Structure 1
Amino acid sequence: MLHVHTIGRIGKDCQVIAGAHGSFMAMNIAVDDYAKGQNVTTWVKVRSNKENHIRLAEYLTKGRLVLVEGTLSSSLWTDKNGESQIQLSITAESIAFINTGKKDSSAGSPDNMAATTDSTPVPPADMPQDDKDDLPF
């Protein structure tokens, strides 16, 4: 058994499939790797029958960057040209969204410039901020 962690972009919206043994979610992710001076993309099938992953399926949309942890398996198949291909599949134990770090349009405003010039990290704009007047001490 191979336990893996991988990061990739979702190829198309996640599907929830109802089967004889219950429902499961299914999606394909594109995992990019830089090898021998060029980008190499490997497609990996991701499947899970965990209830929280099935509920998460509506947010697993095309283009989202995700971290998937689970058990890796592979299978051989023959494509339409008669060539053997390998299919990688992960049975997911954990799925997490990766923040791409996109800046909002207000990042260039003078109010935010002072906050970004020092070395302290700046929380995302949509993160709830503590009320400084409501401190417990």
Structure 2
Amino acid sequence: MLYVHTIGRIGKDCQVITGTHGSFIAFDIAVDDYSNGANITTWVRVRSKNEKHIRLAEYLTKGRLLLIEGRLSASLWKDKDENYQIQLSITADALEFINTGKREGTASDTAGQTDAADDVPAPPADMPQDNKDDLPF
């Protein structure tokens, strides 16, 4: 088992999914790695059955910066060009909001600043989506 801590921005608003085994949340985060002068973005799927996390779903919106702690797993999938890709997933034990220091509506906001949600790249269109009827929990 790999237990990880990672920081990333939510790519699309969180979804609450209800199935035969109960409810859970699911969303994707963009984790940026700056090395050798280049920015590499890795997309990670995050899921949690924790009731506290489910109640937070309305606040887990596009662009929010989060620290996520949990168990890491990986799976393979084929993209539209029939190339294999790796899908990283974290089953979250803890979610923490990270304060970026910017508050909306304060005098310190300037017209030249962009909203954090605008800086988040969109996940790949051919990334596999959860089949709500066939989830492990």
* TM-score, reference length from structure 2: 0.75
Letter in 2 for 1:87: Q
1:36 offset after TM fit, Å? 2.3
Letter in 1 for 2:72: L
1:102 offset after TM fit, Å? 1.5
1:37 offset after TM fit, Å? 1.5
Letter in 2 for 1:34: Y
The CA distance in 2 between the partners of 1:84 and 1:35, in whole Å, is: 24
Q: Secondary structure in 2 aligned to 1:17?
A: strand
Quote the residue 1:35 is aligned against. Answer: 35
The CA distance in 1 between the partners of 2:22 and 2:106, in whole Å, is: 44
1:107 offset after TM fit, Å? 4.8
> Cα deviation per residue 1:53-93 (whole Å; 9 max; x = unaligned)?
00000000000000000000000111110101000000000
The CA distance in 1 between the partners of 2:22 and 2:94, in whole Å, is: 19
The CA distance in 2 between the partners of 1:47 and 1:12, in whole Å, is: 13
User: Structure 1: which 4+ aligned runs deviate by more than 6 Å?
Assistant: none
Larger radius of gyration: 1
Letter in 2 for 1:70: G
Structure 2 matches for 1:1-137, cutoff 5 A? Answer: 1-102=1-102, 105-107=106-108
Q: Give the number of equivalent residue pairs.
A: 108
Q: Structure 2 stretches of 5 or more lacking a match?
A: 110-137
Larger helix share, 1 or 2: 1
* TM-score, reference length from structure 1: 0.75
1:30 offset after TM fit, Å? 0.2
Q: Secondary structure in 2 aligned to 1:102?
A: coil
Quote the residue 1:122 is aligned against. Answer: none
Q: Structure 1 stretches of 5 or more lacking a match?
A: 109-137
